[in-house]
Structure 1
Amino acid sequence: MHQSQTSFTIPTRGKSLYEFTDQVADWLASTDIATGLLTLFCRHTSASLLINENAAPAVQRDILRWMEMVAPERAGYEHDDEGPDDMPAHIRTLLTGESLQIPVADGRMVLGTWQGIFLAEHRSSAHRRQVVGHLIGE
């Protein structure tokens, strides 16, 4: 059994979904691990990870609109230390999750045809987000 670990830096420009599937695939190809399990972990409480369709931009826009409805700003949250988008960002992260597990076969992620890996930035301002990748396998 072999392991490999890396960190991805994803610069954001505010609330949006940022696909980084290709970065993960490039790193995976450099590991010489053909079969295993990939874990991705977002090191933030106001950004999250998700797998979703990467072909139709309308899907991403609809997801962002849904997040705004589910956890709106200025909804009377007690926690607003960093502004009105602070607590909604935490709720959106809670709903979408901070980690993903993806099987690896033949040296590639076992993703569906239209699936991509996204970092969801839930804050209005720009950030540099860190995602840790860990691969275990043979």
Structure 2
Amino acid sequence: MAELRQASRIIRVRTPGRALVEITDEIASWVTGQGMSEGLLTLLCRHTSASLTIQENAAPAVRRDLLDWLDRAAPEDHPYAHDDEGPDDMPAHIRTMVTGVTLSIPLIGGALALGTWQGIYLMEHRRRPHHREIALHLLGA
């Protein structure tokens, strides 16, 4: 049995405001560079108003529909008690809670075990652009 190794990195992603920003290629490139063939990649979005998801990467309409659904689920015009940073503040926290800040992806045969149409996305829930950080941790052999 091969000896287990681990590697970690923080990646920084600039967002354009509310959007799903695909980060699959950057993550897959880093994973490949670690030279492991089997393992588990864990990702953590280090924010409370942005999140991570695995979603279809072929049809842009999917991303638009997801953002539209989140708008209806956590509308900005609700009278939230927490509005320190404006009307998109509390809805962003709710959207993050619903979508999540962590992902775990198996590494099989040296590649992320994503499906054909799956991509890794950072979901920006705030209206203005941000710099976001994602912690990556790979454990494998």
TM interval, short-chain normalised: over 0.9
1:134 is the counterpart of 2:137: yes
Q: Superposition RMSD on alpha carbons, in Å? A: 0.5
Q: Which runs of 4+ in 1 moved over 4 A?
A: none
Identity %: 54
Counterpart in 1 of 2:86?
83
> How far is 1:34 from its partner?
0.9
Counterpart in 1 of 2:9?
6
> How far is 1:13 from its partner?
1.1
What is the aligned residue count? 138
Which consecutive residues of structure 2, in runs of 5 or more, have no partner in the other structure?
A: none
Counterpart in 2 of 1:67?
70
> How far is 1:129 from its partner?
0.3
Counterpart in 2 of 1:93?
96
Mapped to 2, the partners of 1:103 and 1:53 lie a distance apart of 18
Partner amino acid, structure 2, of 1:12: T
Which consecutive residues of structure 1, in runs of 5 or more, have no partner in the other structure?
A: none
Mapped to 1, the partners of 2:140 and 2:63 lie a distance apart of 32
Give the alignment's TM-score, normalised by structure 2.
Answer: 0.97
The secondary structure found in structure 1 opposite 2:34 is coil
Q: 2:119 aligns with which of 106, 116, 131?
A: 116
Mapped to 2, the partners of 1:93 and 1:12 lie a distance apart of 15
